Chains A and B, each alone.
Chain A
Amino acid sequence: MSKLTVTSSPHVKSGATVTGIMLDVIIALTPALIAAVRYFGPRALLLAAVCCGTCVVSEYVSEKIMKRPVTLGDLSAVVTGLLLAFNLPPRIPLWMAAVGSAAAIIIVKQMFGGLGQNFVNPAITGRIILLVSFSQAMTTFTKPLGWTADAVTTATPLASLSAIDRGGDIAAQLSGGQLPGLWDMFIGNIGGSMGEVCALALLIGGVFLIARKVISPIIPCVYIGTVAVIMLIAGKGNFSFMLYEILGGGLILGAFFMATDYVTSPVTRPGKVIFALGCGVITSVIRLFSNLPEGVSYSIMIMNILVPLIELITRPHPFGFVKEKKEKKEKETA
Chain B
Amino acid sequence: MDLFIINFLDGLIYGLLLFMLSSGLTLIFSMMGVLNLAHSAFFMLGAYFAYQISLYLGFWVGLLVAPPIVTVLGALVERYGLRQVHQYGHVPELIFTFGLYFVIEELVQYIWGKNFVEYRAPESLDFVAFTLAGGSIQAYKVFMLLCSVAIFLGLYYVLARTRVGMIIQASLSYPKTVESLGHNVPLVFMGVFGVGTGLAGIAGVIAGPTLQTYPGMAFALGSIVFVCVVVGGLGSLFGAFVASLIIGWMKTFAAAYNVGAAEILIYFGFEYPDNVYYHPWRDLWTLTLPQIGPLLPYLLLVLILIFRPYGLFGRRDA
Chains A and B form a bound pair: no
